[in-house]
């Protein structure tokens, strides 16, 4: 129910509150206090005066005042006079103030003497701190007051901050704030005694408390952004509610880490104006344990859009907090680039409709028309859409997440950088409380600058050390673990606090000081390395190792001439490695021993390659492919089948294939899985971080289950380090535990040279073999077709090995070269008696059933970009080698379970890759037409049309091609692996065909990820039924009663998504048919049958028709039900009988039509919606509780009587659910006494549906007999 009379304007609502609470304190500033009655008199006096200036409907009254009681009085007076107030900020510079007054053309400006000099125009003034006789202007006959229900007239005009050009006057009618305040009262109500400090968004806040009897406390300008002064004021005035921007809160928490001790009365804190990072939310929750933290998203043009309690909506794994559920979901539209609505979870631009919209921009009809467009999704005349310019997505939970700003990305040397992402990683990984990342410079000298405010109280996060040149090598190394190289700031600036905009309270990027520009140019102004390795840095390490002064060293000094020896050179190697964050080997330092030579050596190691290595690559490869003598088992070991192993070590689990390997190992073995997760400096306390990284990866690929970690251990390690960075003892203990190692980890980069990938790919494999040799563990090594050169039509057989002399000329990328060396090491270990198997994969594509894809797959990017262009590359001989990841993973696990010794190398790539012309032909049939175009022309067209498209979710494929467009030779010369010797060993694992069905799966997934703007056209099978999703419920026939709304509709939707054929049953045919159309897109066949479950003939007809049209019923979900609040003494006979008929007889009718057939087939699952009222009687629900006790008794008896028959019976017992059941009750006394909501967040129908799907998906031997699911805060 509304909290306000939303048919009245702001002035009328204030007057009504004056009558209700005349003696309550309404307004305070640092000089005066007013009760509601006193404030009303002040407002009335000034409003009469305003009317003499001709103030009437839509007339503007300028308000140029400090934030004080006078400001509030002036705004209320303008409204009572029938006009609207025009916000004139004291922070406006003179030119801007003059522009706003000229544009707004107020009839009069209300101000103080101190501000008069700022007004250069001849506009009439009312100077509040002067006698009225001194006011200028000319009195006129007052116009009639407008009606108090005229909500379309203007209430106020506020101007945008002007940060992007000429400011715009945003004109808001009364309707917008009235409805806005009513919505906010639904989130957090106010009452007399509440004290609201009005601070950042002053005009947004000053009127709201005055409509509910609360007290407005104005925060003066000099305290608004001064954390110390602000907290002092909030404490002294015993404030119960206020609002801050996240920037301001971060600054306050920086100064006051124990702020709850200072503000014990603060019950509510609204956050608005910027996204709230998860890190800030965590700190706020800790610092303010008794305060309700509300994350609110709004715009001046729309008022509130969404709001949520941070404690309830925070996602610890996410970077940012969602902004809560939309306050009016029907008015929210998230659209793609073509203006079409996106699916749940997909990012798009946010548009808002509804009655909270502003009229538009004052005197700017063209700008208004561009921002406020006709709402083509609404048939109501005059309905409009406002384009917010924000990127957003609606999460499956129903929460709205703001993901960025349209056009907010920084373009940097061809890359797209989202500043907010970088800022979040800095705060999360470094001892930084708040930061801002901006671009500095132009062209090739353009680079990222991070402005940071240190967090002195950060625990476990390294501080940012910035050198004189403005660089922070240590911070760069830390961020390199989570950010791409181009996203890491080059320059760093430390500030005591970030500057905020005087008007909006947001970070004012224009006031950030410039970085040290001389740090990144030489005397000629030419760009040098962003993170340079200088002679001074190397000299400092020399001085420490030689125990001498740095000032005595010269570039030509020789290390050994200055007293150096082998031990001090080892010390120097260690110091240089620690200082720069990568290994500087002693041998490399011994090659050239001058200070200048060491500088060049360190730079060359950083760059990942040297001329010497590349010049004699065969010799380097030959040396690296030589296995250390000590890596050999004490005696030849026997191969261990993976399904017999107690403990398996898995590497690469945070990668694409590795995630599926973990899934299949958990599904097909009983072993404990130790997952090596990479950390630069591994430590045991990295285990929670390892869990989080695995969880993120599995969630992204649809593989996460809460039970995953029951058999998984996290091993923080680094493959590039000796013993993975573990101690000798820990390494030996690990070797003693492990029987099988699945080594799938590799650094994949087709651009990097050999030396850059040598550490993880070659060194890591060497350490894996070292570990295995200690106890004779079996090594299952995941290799690649990249260890062989391009082949002809007939692929390479399994025994093909390339000679070392051919590697530099036939394997042209460093990745293939390192994998070749690693494979040689594995095979040599096998010759020494270690049980090893090599699995050569091809190009791994998405999952054949879900489409879950590797986000960095080049072939997918080429296909998606071709679809978007409408042109496909025509390259003679270009074949698409696409091997679904689930096939590769299952094949490896299957082969690893065999103990044969005759075959060592297995080929898992596609021996017959499909011609890409066939791929694009199939895509054409799926609704993605393309025309052929020569490769060079295609690249030119792509550069013109697509290369500058923003990255992110919707443009990820652009990022891939922008980082490295392949050559025509790369496309044509693919490696084909013949699998004749492999096939006999993997007979149980069938390779999915690369056909239209698989491509439909992939394109549907690409659409879901936002890579494509529309889903594929669904293909019809020969029998006329649609293709189904694959999964444990795929193809099952389900009947859902009560399916027209609420829980029933949610269950039907969930089952359709799982691939079921669903019969929808309910009395409301139109609702059923509407739902039927929606669910048809999921692939199963959907039928709608009008059914009253109290009519046995209709129920029998439902199941007969379902069997004829869909097949025998596998699943019954009985959702039909009614609930009436009735007092027993009130004898609501009709409602009692209806309850028994629907809830009891309806269930029996369904069981009588279902159970015999299920028993005859020896399978079936019956689910019935009961209630927590079936476990405990609730007053006011006596008959309803009795009906649910009946349901429980019936199901328990059926379950016991049919045990062993294959039938499963599940009772689902929900607590309060957001459905329309409550609206059925007519007993007003019972409703009032027992039906009032408690205020706890209730369940959504989808929550119940998810629990039912969980029960249905269990293996055949598992029965979920009962599910009690309730709101967390309403347990029985």
Please tell me which residue, 279 or 580, carries the higher pLDDT value: 279
Contact 913, 880 (CB under 8 A): yes
d(CA 90, CA 719): 60
Q: Are strands 360-361 and 169-173 parallel, antiparallel or unpaired?
A: antiparallel
pLDDT digit string, tens, across residues 539-556 = 988 888 887 888 888 888
- The predicted model scores a pTM of 0.44
Q: Is 617 helix (H, G, I), strand (E, B) or coil?
A: helix
Q: Average of pLDDT values for 657-677?
A: 95
Query: Which residues have C-beta within 8 Å of that of residue 440, sequence separation ≥ 6?
Result: 446, 447, 448, 449, 491, 514, 515, 517
Say what the pLDDT of residue 443 is: 43
CB count in 10 Å sphere of residue 253: 22
What single DSSP character describes residue 1015?
A: P
Q: Is 96 helix (H, G, I), strand (E, B) or coil?
A: helix
Is the per-residue pLDDT at 1262 higher than 70?
Answer: yes
Summary mean pLDDT of the chain:
85
Is the per-residue pLDDT at 362 higher than 80?
Answer: yes
| Most distant CA pair in the chain, distance | 110
Least confident of 590-599, 790-799, 957-966: 957-966
Query: Which residues have C-beta within 8 Å of that of residue 628, sequence separation ≥ 6?
Result: 766, 770
Say what the pLDDT of residue 894 is: 94
The phi and psi torsions of 714 (rounded to 5 degrees) equal -100, 130
Handedness of CA 1193, 1195, 1199, 1205 (dihedral sign): positive
Q: Average of pLDDT values for 808-821?
A: 86
d(CA 175, CA 185): 15
Least confident of 496-510, 834-848, 1074-1088, 1247-1261: 496-510
Across 602-611, 724-733, 1212-1221, 1225-1234, the highest mean pLDDT is recorded for 724-733
**In which order are the strands placed within the sheet that holds 778-784?**
712-717, 672-678, 647-651, 740-743, 778-784, 836-841, 905-907
Q: Average of pLDDT values for 1132-1145?
A: 90
* Among 1109, 640, 674, 584, CA closest to 898: 640
Least confident of 369-378, 859-868, 1017-1026, 1235-1244: 1017-1026
pLDDT digit string, tens, across residues 288-320 = 999 999 999 998 899 989 999 999 988 877 777
Say what the pLDDT of residue 676 is: 96
The catalytically annotated residue of 159, 1184, 1234, 1254 is 1184
Least confident of 63-67, 458-462, 1128-1132: 458-462
Write the DSSP string, 820-879.
Answer: HHHHHHHHHHHHTT--EEEEEE--EE--TTT----TT-HHHHHHHHHHHHTEEEE-TT-E
Structure tokens at 693: 């990284």
Say what the pLDDT of residue 406 is: 66
d(CA 385, CA 602): 58
Q: Are strands 60-64 and 33-35 parallel, antiparallel or unpaired?
A: unpaired
d(CA 332, CA 329): 5
What single DSSP character describes residue 554?
A: -
* Among 623, 856, 840, CA closest to 751: 856
d(CA 516, CA 454): 19
Say what the pLDDT of residue 409 is: 62
The phi and psi torsions of 484 (rounded to 5 degrees) equal -65, 155
Please tell me which residue, 1206 or 161, carries the higher pLDDT value: 1206
Alpha helices (runs of H) in 25-68, residue ranges in sequence order = 36-51
Q: Residue 955: pLDDT band by 50, 70, 90 thresholds?
A: low
Q: Average of pLDDT values for 504-518?
A: 72
CB count in 10 Å sphere of residue 442: 7
d(CA 912, CA 211): 74
Helices 656-668 + 885-896 axis angle, to 10: 50
* Among 1185, 926, 1078, 1073, CA closest to 344: 1078
Contact 1160, 1207 (CB under 8 A): no
Is the per-residue pLDDT at 531 higher than 50?
Answer: no
Say what the pLDDT of residue 1024 is: 40
Q: Does the annotation mark 471 as catalytic?
A: no
Q: Residue 52: pLDDT band by 50, 70, 90 thresholds?
A: very high
Is the per-residue pLDDT at 68 higher than 90?
Answer: yes
pLDDT digit string, tens, across residues 108-138 = 999 999 999 899 888 999 999 887 534 444 5
Say what the pLDDT of residue 1187 is: 94
Q: Which residues pair with 666 in a beta bridge?
A: none
Domains of the chain, first to last: 1-173 (3.40.50.12780), 331-344+374-519 (3.30.300.30), 535-607 (1.10.1200.10), 1037-1269 (3.40.50.720)
Handedness of CA 52, 55, 60, 65 (dihedral sign): positive
Q: Is 172 helix (H, G, I), strand (E, B) or coil?
A: strand
Q: Which residues pair with 157 in a beta bridge?
A: 86, 171
Contact 308, 327 (CB under 8 A): no
Write the DSSP string, 1082-1145.
Answer: GSS-EEEEE--TT-HHHHHHHHHHHHHHT-S--EEEE-------B-GGG--HHHHHHHIIIIII
Q: Residue 546, Cα to own-chain centre: how many angstroms?
A: 51
Contact 933, 1022 (CB under 8 A): no
Q: Is 163 helix (H, G, I), strand (E, B) or coil?
A: coil
Is the per-residue pLDDT at 101 higher than 70?
Answer: yes
Across 226-235, 505-514, 659-668, 940-949, the highest mean pLDDT is recorded for 659-668
Query: Alpha-carbon Rg of the chain, whole angstroms?
Result: 35
Is the per-residue pLDDT at 760 higher than 70?
Answer: yes
* Among 591, 593, 582, CA closest to 542: 593
Say what the pLDDT of residue 252 is: 86
Say what the pLDDT of residue 391 is: 86
Q: Average of pLDDT values for 992-1007?
A: 89
Structure tokens at 1210: 């599940």
d(CA 472, CA 456): 18
Nearest-5° angle of CA 1234, CA 1239, CA 1245? 90
Is the per-residue pLDDT at 667 higher than 60?
Answer: yes
Q: Average of pLDDT values for 907-928?
A: 93
Write the DSSP string, 1177-1193.
Answer: --TTBHHHHHHHHHHHH
Least confident of 153-167, 371-385, 944-958: 944-958
Structure tokens at 708: 């995953």
What single DSSP character describes residue 1025?
A: P
CB count in 10 Å sphere of residue 798: 19
Say what the pLDDT of residue 108 is: 97
Contact 738, 647 (CB under 8 A): yes
* Among 1106, 544, 657, CA closest to 893: 657
Say what the pLDDT of residue 964 is: 63
Is the per-residue pLDDT at 816 higher than 80?
Answer: yes
d(CA 297, CA 274): 8
Least confident of 102-116, 683-697, 1089-1103: 683-697
Is the per-residue pLDDT at 452 higher than 70?
Answer: yes
d(CA 612, CA 367): 62
Nearest-5° angle of CA 942, CA 974, CA 779? 120
In angstroms, the Cα distances linking 710 to 707, 714, 814, 1016 are 6, 11, 38, 38
* Among 850, 859, 870, 867, CA closest to 1011: 867
d(CA 248, CA 229): 12
Say what the pLDDT of residue 953 is: 42
Please tell me which residue, 1267 or 583, carries the higher pLDDT value: 1267
Nearest-5° angle of CA 1118, CA 1122, CA 1127? 145
Please tell me which residue, 1087 or 414, carries the higher pLDDT value: 1087
d(CA 636, CA 829): 11
Structure tokens at 803: 């000679």
Say what the pLDDT of residue 564 is: 72
Q: Average of pLDDT values for 91-114?
A: 89
The phi and psi torsions of 772 (rounded to 5 degrees) equal -65, -35
First vs last Cα of the chain: how many Å apart? Answer: 27
Structure tokens at 797: 């057989």
d(CA 1088, CA 1056): 13
Q: Average of pLDDT values for 44-68?
A: 94
Across 461-470, 725-734, 746-755, 1072-1081, the highest mean pLDDT is recorded for 725-734
* Among 688, 655, 689, 650, CA closest to 666: 650
């Amino acid at each position: 129910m509304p909290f306000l009379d939303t048919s009245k304007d702001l002035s009328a609502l204030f007057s009504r509150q004056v009558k209700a609470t005349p003696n309550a304190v309404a307004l305070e500033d640092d000089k005066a206090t007013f009760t509601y009655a006193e404030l009303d008199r002040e407002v009335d006096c000034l409003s009469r005066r305003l009317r003499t200036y001709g103030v009437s409907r839509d007339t503007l009254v300028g308000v140029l005042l400090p934030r004080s009681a006078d400001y509030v009085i002036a705004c209320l007076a303008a409204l009572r006079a029938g006009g609207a107030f025009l916000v004139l900020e004291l922070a406006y510079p003179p030119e801007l103030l003059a522009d706003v007054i000229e544009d707004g053309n107020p009839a009069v400006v209300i101000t103080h003497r101190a501000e008069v000099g700022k007004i250069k125009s001849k506009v009439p003034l009312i100077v509040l701190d002067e006698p009225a006789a001194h006011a200028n202007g000319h009195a006129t006959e007052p116009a009639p007051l407008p009606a108090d229900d005229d909500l379309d007239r203007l209430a106020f005009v506020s101007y945008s901050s002007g940060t992007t050009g000429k400011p715009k006057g945003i004109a808001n009618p009364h309707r917008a704030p009235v409805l806005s305040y009513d919505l906010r009262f639904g989130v957090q109500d106010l009452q007399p005694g509440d004290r609201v400090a009005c601070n950042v968004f002053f005009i947004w806040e000053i009127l709201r408390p005055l409509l509910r009897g609360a007290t407005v406390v104005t925060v003066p300008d000099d305290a608004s952004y001064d954390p110390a002064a602000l907290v002092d004021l909030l404490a002294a005035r015993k404030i119960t509610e206020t609002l801050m921007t996240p920037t301001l809160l971060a600054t306050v928490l920086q100064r006051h880490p124990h702020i709850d001790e200072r503000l014990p009365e603060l019950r509510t804190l609204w956050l608005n104006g910027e996204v709230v990072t998860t890190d800030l939310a965590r700190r706020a929750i800790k610092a303010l344990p008794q305060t309700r933290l509300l994350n609110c998203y709004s715009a001046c043009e729309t008022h509130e859009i969404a709001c949520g309690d941070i404690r309830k909506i925070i996602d610890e794994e996410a970077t940012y907090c969602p902004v809560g559920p939309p306050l009016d979901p029907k008015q929210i539209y998230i659209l793609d680039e073509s203006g079409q609505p996106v699916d749940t979870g997909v990012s798009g631009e946010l548009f808002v409709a509804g009655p909270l919209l502003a009229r538009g921009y004052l005197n700017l009809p063209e700008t208004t028309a561009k921002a406020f467009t006709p709402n083509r999704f609404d048939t109501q005349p005059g309905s409009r859409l406002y384009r917010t310019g924000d990127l957003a997505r609606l999460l499956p939970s129903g929460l709205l997440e703001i993901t960025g700003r349209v056009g907010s990305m920084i373009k940097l040397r061809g890359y797209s950088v989202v500043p907010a992402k970088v800022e979040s990683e800095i705060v999360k990984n470094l001892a930084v409380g708040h930061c801002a990342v901006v671009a500095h410079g132009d062209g090739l000298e353009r680079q990222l600058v991070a402005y940071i405010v240190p967090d002195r109280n950060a625990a476990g996060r390294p501080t940012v050390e910035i050198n004189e040149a403005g660089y922070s090598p240590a911070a760069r190394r830390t961020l390199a673990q989570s950010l791409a190289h181009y996203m890491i700031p080059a320059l760093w600036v430390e500030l005591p606090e970030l500057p905020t905009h005087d008007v909006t309270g947001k970070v004012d990027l224009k006031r950030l000081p410039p970085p040290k520009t001389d740090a990144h140019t030489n005397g000629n102004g030419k760009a040098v390395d962003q993170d340079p390795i200088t002679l001074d840095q190397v000299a400092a390490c020399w001085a420490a190792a030689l125990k001498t002064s740095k000032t005595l060293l010269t570039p030509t000094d020789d290390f050994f001439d200055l007293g150096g020896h082998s031990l001090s050179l080892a010390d120097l190697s260690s110091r240089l490695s620690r200082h720069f964050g990568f290994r500087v080997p002693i041998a490399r330092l011994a090659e050239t021993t001058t200070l200048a030579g060491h500088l060049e050596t360190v730079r060359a190691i950083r760059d990942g390659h040297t001329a010497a290595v590349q010049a004699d690559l065969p010799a380097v490869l030959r040396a690296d492919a030589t296995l250390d003598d000590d890596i050999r088992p004490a005696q030849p070991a026997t191969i261990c089948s993976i399904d017999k192993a107690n403990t398996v070590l898995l590497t690469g689990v945070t990668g694409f294939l590795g995630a599926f390997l973990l899934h299949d190992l958990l599904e097909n073995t009983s072993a404990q899985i130790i997952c090596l997760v990479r950390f630069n400096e591994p430590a045991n306390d990295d285990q929670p971080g390892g869990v989080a990284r695995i969880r993120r990866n599995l969630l992204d690929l649809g593989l996460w289950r809460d039970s995953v970690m029951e058999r998984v251990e996290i091993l923080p390690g680094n493959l590039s380090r000796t013993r993975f960075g573990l101690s000798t003892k820990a390494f030996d203990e690990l070797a003693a535990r492990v029987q099988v190692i699945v080594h799938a980890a590799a650094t994949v980069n087709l651009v990097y040279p050999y030396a850059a990938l040598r550490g993880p790919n070659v060194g890591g494999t060497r350490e894996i073999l070292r570990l295995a040799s200690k106890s004779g563990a079996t090594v299952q090594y995941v290799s690649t077709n990249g260890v062989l050169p391009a082949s002809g039509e007939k692929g390479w057989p399994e025994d093909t090995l390339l000679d070392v002399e051919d590697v530099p000329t036939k394997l042209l990328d460093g990745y293939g070269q390192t994998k070749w060396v690693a494979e040689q090491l594995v095979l040599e270990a096998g010759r020494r008696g270690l049980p090893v198997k090599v699995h050569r994969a091809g190009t791994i594509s998405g999952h054949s059933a879900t489409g879950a894809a590797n986000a960095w797959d080049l072939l997918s990017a080429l296909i998606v970009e071709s679809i978007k262009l409408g042109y496909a590359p025509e390259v003679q001989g270009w074949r698409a080698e696409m091997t679904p990841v689930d096939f590769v993973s299952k094949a490896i696990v299957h082969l690893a379970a065999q103990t044969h010794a005759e075959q060592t190398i297995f080929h898992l790539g596609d021996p017959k890759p499909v011609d890409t012309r066939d791929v694009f032909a199939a895509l054409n049939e799926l609704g993605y037409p393309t025309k052929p175009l020569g490769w060079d022309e295609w690249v030119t067209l792509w550069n013109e049309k697509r290369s500058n498209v923003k990255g992110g979710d919707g443009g990820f494929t652009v990022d891939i091609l922008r980082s490295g467009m392949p050559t025509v030779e790369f496309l044509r010369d693919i490696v084909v692996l013949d699998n004749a010797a492999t096939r006999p060993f993997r007979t149980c694992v069938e390779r999915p065909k690369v056909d239209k069905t698989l491509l439909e799966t992939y394109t549907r997934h690409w659409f879901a990820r936002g890579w494509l703007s529309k889903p594929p056209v669904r293909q019809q099978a020969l029998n006329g039924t649609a293709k189904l999703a694959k999964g444990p419920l795929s193809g099952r026939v389900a009947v859902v009663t009560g399916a027209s709304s609420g829980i029933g509709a949610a269950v039907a939707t969930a089952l359709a998504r799982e691939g079921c054929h669903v019969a929808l049953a309910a009395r409301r045919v139109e609702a059923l048919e509407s739902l039927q159309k929606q669910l048809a897109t999921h692939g199963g066949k959907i039928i709608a049958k009008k059914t009253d479950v109290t009519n046995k003939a209709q129920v029998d007809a439902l199941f007969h028709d379902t069997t004829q049209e869909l097949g025998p019923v596998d699943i019954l979900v009985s959702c039909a039900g009614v609930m009436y609040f009735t007092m027993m003494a009130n004898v609501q006979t009709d409602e009692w009988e209806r309850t028994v008929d629907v809830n009891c007889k309806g269930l029996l009718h369904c069981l009588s039509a279902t159970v015999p057939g299920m028993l005859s087939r020896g399978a079936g699952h019956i689910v019935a919606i009961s209630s927590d009222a079936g476990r405990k009687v609730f007053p006011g629900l006596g008959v309803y509780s009795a009906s649910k006790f009946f349901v429980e008794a019936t199901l328990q008896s059926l379950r016991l009587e049919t045990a062993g028959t294959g039938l499963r019976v599940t009772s689902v017992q929900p607590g309060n659910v957001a459905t329309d059941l409550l609206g059925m009750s007519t007993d007003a006394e019972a409703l009032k006494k027992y039906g009032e909501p408690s205020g706890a967040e209730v369940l959504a129908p989808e929550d119940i549906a998810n629990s039912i799907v969980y029960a249905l998906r269990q293996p055949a031997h598992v029965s979920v007999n009962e599910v009690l699911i309730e709101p967390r805060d309403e347990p029985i």
